Structure 1
Amino acid sequence: MHRYFKIYKPYGYLSQFITNERPRKKKKLLGDLYDFPEGTMSIGRLDQDSEGLLLLTTSGKVSAEITGNKVEKEYYVQVDGEMTDVAVDLLREGVEISINGKNYQTLPCEAFKLEERPVFPQRAKKIRDERHGPTSWVSISLTEGKFRQVKKMTAAVGFPTLRLVRVRVGNEQLGNMDTGQVIELHHFDY
């Protein structure tokens, strides 16, 4: 009987349960948040400085299905500056980024500027405030997931990422979960 979890991964945590680093330089791991059953794995990853919805399971088959390039993931991204319509159009069309030193053209995706600031729990590390210039929020939905892709995409159109929160994987939503909250599910809706 496989088990399924969704978690609001906090800023500063690695999307893993063990680290090969010796010593473990105060790295925060998912297992520090909840007593997950043996064999639990994260489905995909969020960078240490990214946060939001992370799905976990004991089923390798389900993990492979979700990490394949078919299930859409949506991110709310706070960027440095007032995101322009031209930049949003470029994101939609796909932009060139670097992956492992090689140029990569991202696939077309859904992107739009959020008219209202989303409400998320306060982040552990403060984000610079408006005194240092305007910020704006954009929604980006992708089916691919290259290394730091979303951050590289916003930088490629001239708007570096300040905060990245994954809000949806397939039909599973972050909703109004609290940072670090874990919910066990009967299955995933993807």
Structure 2
Amino acid sequence: MWAAKLGLAETLAYEVTDQIASWQSRKVSPELEPWLQARDQLESAQRLARRNGAVEELLGVLYSERRRNPDFQQLALDHFTAALTQRPSSPYTWASIADVRYRLGSTTGDYEQVLLNAVLLGPNEPEVQRIVVDYGFALWDDIGPETKAAVLQAIASGMRRNPMEMLKISERRGRLSLACPRVPSDARFPDPLWAKLCEANT
């Protein structure tokens, strides 16, 4: 019976994972009705499989999709924090906490440690790199040397995977002078403008 419940919980969670991925790939905020249906499915999965960190994390992701609602952002943070009790070594959970806390304006206290944990546990994970570089550069003047080193580590790793993404984040945050020296020598720029921008910032 326990195995059957776990299997059903995983099926429900898998369906919601696909739905969230669809919203994210299209860069759209979900309509309320399908969002509520997804929440109901995850809450059913949660009842079937108690103490399941993956379901808790998915609930956090789902609530975080309602970006304009600070109450839902706080609920997202609550779910991510609960997920950590089950999966403390998940780099994506730490990165998600950094993401939500930045949007809530909660970047003091242990925020730097959250970024450090994300990099330490997921140095080669693309989403971790994106979040750490984005918010690390946004807070660059206020973070300490250890956190700065972790942000630079994340951008160096990200450059090997997708230099254009890293450059666009850095340009938006006004930190091209930190990013351009870390572009791999064999990187190809689809737009020559970026090569010129880097020449001017190195």
For Structure 1 versus Structure 2, the TM-score category normalised by the shorter chain is under 0.3
Structure 1 or 2: more helix by fraction: 2
Structure 1 or 2: more strand by fraction: 1
Higher relative contact order (CA 8 A, sep 6+): 1
TM (normalized to structure 2)?
Answer: 0.26
Q: Higher Cα Rg: structure 1 or 2?
A: 2
TM (normalized to structure 1)?
Answer: 0.27
